[in-house]
Amino acid sequence: MNMKNRGVTLLELLVTVAIVVVLASVSIPSFQRMMADNRLMASYNDVLVGLNVARSEAIKRRQEVTFDVTSSTPWGYQVKVDGMESPVRVRRADEGTVSLDDEDFSVTFDALGKATSCASGCRLTLTHSRIGDRVIEVSAMGRVGRGASS
């Protein structure tokens, strides 16, 4: 009898499924870590941009501008110009996996871009519930940048 082989055998199917299960069990945890790290970095960059916007608005408008954290989990902030009722910029996180360490954090930049409320510098820490934290530092001169993680 001359029968042609059509399809796969049960053994071949089981071996293929076993290989797929092993590969998935190895890759899913690292994928979840990558997604969590991306969320933390996106939040970090958004807060960093907010601080830089506050400083540049202070220089551009030649008046004090304040960066205020409005909530820590999920994080939120606003940038307000001195004397104006409505904020220039308002941001809030979509979810609560990233939080800020200090809900009362506030930095005021003067007309020269100096952080008048941070005489010895300020630190703001963003923390992800599973992977760690990132630190933003504001110097007394108003420089906003990456701080050392604790």
| Residue range 96-106, pLDDT digits in tens | 788 888 888 99
* Residue 72 DSSP SS3: strand
* Cα–Cα distance, 37 to 30 (Å, whole number): 10
What is the CB neighbour count within 10 angstroms for residue 114?
Answer: 19
pLDDT at residue 3 in the model: 62
Tokens 């360490």 label which residue? 101
Q: What is the pLDDT of residues 1-48, one digit of tens each?
A: 556 667 888 899 999 999 999 988 888 888 888 888 999 999 999 999
Closest by CA to 148, choosing from 140, 139, 138, 137, is 137
Which sequence spans correspond to the domains of the chain? 10-146
Beta carbons of 122 and 138 less than 8 angstroms apart: yes
Q: What is the CATH number of domain 10-146?
A: 3.55.40.10
Query: How far apart are the C-alpha atoms of 106 and 23, rounded to whole Å?
Result: 47
**Mean pLDDT, to the nearest integer, of 121-142?**
90
Rounded mean pLDDT of the chain?
Answer: 89
The per-residue pLDDT for range 76-130, each reduced to its tens digit, is 999 999 889 899 999 998 887 888 888 889 999 999 999 998 878 899 999 988 8
Give tens-digit pLDDT for 63-75.
Answer: 999 999 998 888 9
pLDDT of residue 48: 95
